[in-house]
Structure 1
Amino acid sequence: MSSPGSSPVRGGWLDPSKGFHADVQPRKRQLAFALRSLCRLLRSTDPHRPGDTPPLLREAAKRLGCTQDSLSRYLNRARIPRAEFIKRLYDEARADATASGQEADITLEALLALHTSALDEQRGRDHPELDDQLDVLTEQIKAPCAACENRHQKQQRDASRLRSVRREITRLRTEVAELKAERSELRATEAGLRADLAALRAQPLLPVPRPPRDRQQRTKDTRAARQLVAQATELSSTGREDLASTLIRQTTAEVMTPAETALVVVGLRQHPGGDQLADDLIHVYGRDQEKEDVMAVAVELHDEGAADDAGAILRASLGHRAGVAPRDQAASASYRT
């Protein structure tokens, strides 16, 4: 008998190369070979194990209504099982084989004939008329089945592809979960910053005439800018530069005034590793915001002593509105410098 389920299982209780005790007679060995082949058709029903794997000895014994020791003796020693065990094993093996697209290469009648011959051998009786039939059955058991082997190889390939797909699905789910967590963190940070800025702007000013650069308003602008710079640089220091850049772009565009935006640029320049974030902010703000806001930011930057940044944000705005390519903008900036 040969089938995908009966392919060699090396080193386990289903190992086809496992030998017999010296007291096992020839007819009992033929019966044992047939029983082993049927056992290799069994599939595990343990939900914690892959579906297309053989069962453990204890699982097979439980399904067949016997002890582990009894099953081992049936397969490897002189002990001959009852006919009821033979029928139960045949039914279980055939059901699992059919579910896997396989088939048992021995009939129940032939199996019971082997069983009867082994019993007669054990009792000292002989049936010469069965010898030829048993020899034919023995050859059938040992003969390879090309169709079964091809099905088994296809099942192995399909199982390998399925495992690869499952690993990829797991990786993508992990990546999606991480992105969702980052998005939630960004939203929470942005919400907190909006609340802080709203609270700062809600503080009443003293009823005194405001000079050209009101100190109280200036303090609010500085505090708001420092909060944003602190949060962005903390994100950047942990390797989340994209998240930091997104936070800065959205907050300066949607929440902050031009004066606060200019102070954010200055604050980033004062932090190690903040230059790239400042450059990105200048480029995006100059490209996307209204020219009045860009000019206001440039004036604030110039007043803060950041003339280079003031020129850069104006060039970013002019280059975008004139449709200048990035390479042409760089050349223009070099020329003006």
Structure 2
Amino acid sequence: MASELTRLTIWGLDNLLSIESIPLLLGKVYNQPIEFLQDEPIDEREKTYYNQWHSPDGFQAINIQTRLIIESEINFVHALAAYEFGYGERRSFVNGALLQRDVRVFPYKCPVIFFEFEQKVYCVVEISESQESRLRSHLFGQKRGAKMEEWGDITAKKPLPFQFDSRFYYWLLSKKGQTLTLRGQEVNLLDVSALSLLSEKSVYNSSSEGPALLDGSLPALSSLSLNESITVVGLKIKINNTTLQIKFGKDGVSYVDESHCYKLEQNENMITYTDDCNYFVLLIYGFIFPELLKRYDEDLTLGSWNLQDEAVQRKHWAIKVIKQLVMSNSIEQSEIRDCFESDEGVTIN
């Protein structure tokens, strides 16, 4: 049975400098009229999309909370976005009769976590890519022609410090199996479980998933050896009593493997992502990503990681590929020599 992956995307709220603004914004009225029904002689409910922010349990008020994440307090707000969308005018009528509301209007809910990081406010949304623009329009004041100034523009696809480039990924993969000390905490990069790469000039792409990719996956190792652009990496990470398995792309979108994300309490109880999503989201975006990027920048500044180091790492992966191919196909050294020497100007010592 395949593991369930939860998709998380992050947006920077550039117009907001304090988390204190969030409860006030979430309390505003976000209902939207269904434009093509406004002149119809029907009940108001029939011609309105009802959009609201709720507390996760549906009863308590939406308040600011504080959570201790790796010895740092993070202020956050956990809310449930509930909005509606529906058919356009043509599909809403059959033979001139308006369809019943529950047939033409569809409700959607998704959890959202707003948090403060380095004097800015971000939000992490558990949502499918196809619903992102609807959520921004319905509950983030981004409706075209009727934007809410309080929210500002929420269009950033790669908010700092949650964007990654291929060079960062190569550095990160070189640390597989190592323990990094980040903000005084030991972070074990246990395994690489997913890789997506894009060839030069975007001619083709390749994806690999499974345990120990850097130990035995020829497609993954071959693509890395050729210095292809990495777009997604999947990692298994252990921090203190917490184990995470996540995939994340260049734009900060993450896929959390719920069945492999857990925290072991002192009483040996296991806390899963479903039990406490706030903890895991704040750990990923409030500690893991920014601290990994910080360590990467430090290694670049100190010269402990450069293009030559990257080339050495790629050569190490290439040798793994060659060794496996030679052994699997019983290739003799003389055959390799003949292959190289058959190409004009190419020799092998």
Fold match (TM-score > 0.5): no
| TM-score, normalisation: structure 1 | 0.20
Q: Which has the higher helix share?
A: 1
Bigger CA radius of gyration? 1
TM-score, length-normalised on structure 2? 0.19
Which structure carries more strand by proportion? 2
